[in-house]
Structure 1
């Protein structure tokens, strides 16, 4: 395993650990709720990682059949992330139809943890890897977290999710105009992916609101 891959994995581990810590510090909920939310979010993140690996295989199925080690060792790309995101959404939707365990509080907690983890990751990109392109996204993430602190006790969970997604998404779209590319955890992503997340969040939240689920 190359030094670059080791550093990337290390930075991801530190980033998610920092993201969970930031959520625990920033959340005003009781300790029991925060721990439960962190457990649910960890399960979803692990699910995403597994589906990224599955997506990588599906997108290179011919090569996988002839040389599976080459595919599994090959870094995943944005296409793998797109497909994995869709698979996670479908997985969670099916699971929720059976158990009704997913709430707006769960989604909000996951959103804050992902934003917090991204903030730590981009901070490491600037400080460890001298990646000056990360500064703009770092500021977007900082203001998203700051905004969450401001609205946490003023808005309900649905409104908080919309606020976080809008600030993060709008920030990403703005910097996409000034930068050659935008990233999420070093995945080079399309602005259309950001727009899709924003649209999906809005549609899903209004759907949940109509059903009166908290």
Structure 2
């Protein structure tokens, strides 16, 4: 039953991400070949992120993994594995940026609609299928960000759009933390300290990237 539950959760996330891809492909004004390339890069990073979650889960349960590796399949990935995966994926992106000149800003701007649409689908499924009323707040936040994204996409620079989405998402999550007992993203609990650290790190990288472009 535990493995079946894990597989169901993974299936919902996969379907949500696919819907996010479709949403990006439909609304993006980029040429088709460029959109395909962006989705390939996002897919590669998402696959790496999933691998990193499993690596994090193994590291956090290393004693169990040594004695009974298959038992790790029954362990649901918790927020700590998610935090480790986030650290690993940031290092991965940094490596690609340094060694392969990855266009981080372009990639993030393509990831925004994928993430928002996938989050909307995932939270909607949680409400309809699992009757999870705690997701209403986050669903409302995601809907608001999607509307804002659609309204301002062609009216401001991509740098400003990224900043607005980042600030709006983190600020909205922190506001929800005042009223909800916990915060989740794709089923993983998010601690307020992680959101603040994520925000500070992202802003730092954003400023650093802009500084390099100016110089």
Q: TM-score range by the shorter chain?
A: over 0.9
Whether the aligned pair in 2 keeps the contact of 1:52 and 1:76 (CA below 8 Å) is yes
Deviation at 1:171, TM superposition (A): 1.0
| Cα distance in 2 between the residues matched to 1:187 and 1:64 | 22
Partner of 2:201: 200
User: 1:73 Cα shift?
Assistant: 3.0
Alignment of 1:16-165 (within 5 A): 16-165=17-166
TM-score (norm. length: structure 2): 0.94
Aligned residues, how many?
213
Post-superposition Cα deviations, 1:152-179, rounded to whole Å, max 9, x if no partner, equal: 1122221111111111111111111111
Task: Indicate if the aligned counterparts of 2:97 and 2:104 stay in contact, CA closer than 8 A.
Answer: no
Task: Give, in angstroms, the shift of residue 103 of structure 1.
Answer: 3.1
Distance in 1, matches of 2:6 and 2:91, equals 30
Distance 1:111 1:72 in 2: 31
Structure 2 Cα separation of the partners of residues 189 and 18 of structure 1: 23
Q: Which residue does the alignment assign to 1:12?
A: 13
Deviation for aligned residue 1:181: 0.2
Contact 1:162 1:201 in 2 (8 A): no
Residues in 1 aligned to 2:184 and 2:172: alpha-carbon distance in whole angstroms? 12
Unpaired segments ≥5 residues, structure 1: none
Q: For residues 34-77 of structure 1, what are the alpha-carbon distances to aligned partners after superposition, in whole Å with 9 as ceiling and x for unaligned?
A: 11111111111111000000011111112211111112331110
More displaced stretch, 84-93 vs 196-205? 196-205
Deviation at 1:200, TM superposition (A): 1.5
What's the TM-score, normalizing by structure 1?
A: 0.94
Secondary structure of 2:130's partner?
coil
